[in-house]
Amino acid sequence: MVAHHKPNWPFPLEVEREQQARRAALAVERHAGDGAAVVLGDFDATPDAASMSFWRGRRSLDGVSVCYQDAWETARPDELGFTFSAENPLVRAGEVATAVSRRIDYVLIRAGRHGALLEVVRCDRLLDQPVGGVWASDHYGVVTDLVVPHHAPGTWGGIS
C-alpha cells in the first residue's frame, strides 16, 4: 500500500501536523492490515519535529504509536538531505523566502515488530538542479528503491 500525506504547512502549526499525522497513520494502519505500507510526501516538518518523531516511532500521540523507517535516514544517515533549500531560486522567490534550508519531504516505510517490512536499497534527491535553466519545483524530490527483504523481519534467514 502506498499513501500520500500532506499536512498543514505554516510554521506555527505543529500541533495540527501532529493531529493530522495521528489520523493519517490510523487510516494507513486500518487499510494496510498486516502488509507493507509506504507513506510519502511533503510533511512540512523537519526530522526533529514532533509529528515526524511520531511517524518514526519515537513518540506516541494520544495513545497511538506507529513506526515507519525514514528512507533517507536509512540510506544516507550522515547527510542532511535538504529538500527545501535556499540554493533553489524558487525558494528564495517564494512565500517563505526567509526560511532556512531543511528536509521536509519523506519516504517512510512501515515497520513491524522486528523492523521495516520493505528494505531500502537506495534513496536520492531528484530534480535538485535546473534543466535548461528551469527548476521543477521549490522542493526537491525524493526517490527510493525498495525491495522485499530476503526473509521477513522477525524470522531467521539462511547464512551464506
pLDDT digits (tens, 9 = 90+) for 114-128: 999 999 999 999 999
Question: Quick check: helix, strand or coil at residue 111?
Answer: strand
d(CA 44, CA 104): 5
Q: Measure the CA dihedral 143/80/13/112, to 10°.
A: 60
Would you state the pLDDT for residue 79?
97
What's 84's DSSP letter? B
| pLDDT exceeds cutoff 90 at 17 | yes
Distance of CA 18 to the CA centre of its chain: 14
Owner of C-alpha cell 544517515: 77
Let me know if residue 104 belongs to a domain.
Answer: yes
Let me know if residue 31 belongs to a domain.
Answer: yes
What is the maximum span of the chain, computed from C-alpha positions, in angstroms? 54
Would you state the pLDDT for residue 160?
64
Number of folded domains that form the chain: 1
Let me know if residue 153 belongs to a domain.
Answer: no
Would you state the pLDDT for residue 28?
98
Q: How much is the average pLDDT of 155-160?
A: 76
Please return the burial class of 44, using the count of CB atoms within 10 Å of its CB with bins 0-12, 13-18 and 19+.
buried
Let me know if residue 8 belongs to a domain.
Answer: yes
Let me know if residue 152 belongs to a domain.
Answer: no
Let me know if residue 54 belongs to a domain.
Answer: yes
Q: How much is the average pLDDT of 60-88?
A: 97
Confidence of residue 157 (pLDDT cuts 50, 70, 90): confident
Alpha helices in the chain (DSSP H): 14-32, 50-55, 71-75, 89-93
| pLDDT exceeds cutoff 80 at 150 | yes
Let me know if residue 159 belongs to a domain.
Answer: no
Mean pLDDT taken over the chain: 95
Q: Which CATH number covers residue 142?
A: 3.60.10.10
d(CA 61, CA 73): 22
Alpha helices in 106-155 (DSSP H): none
Residues spanned by the domain of 43: 2-147
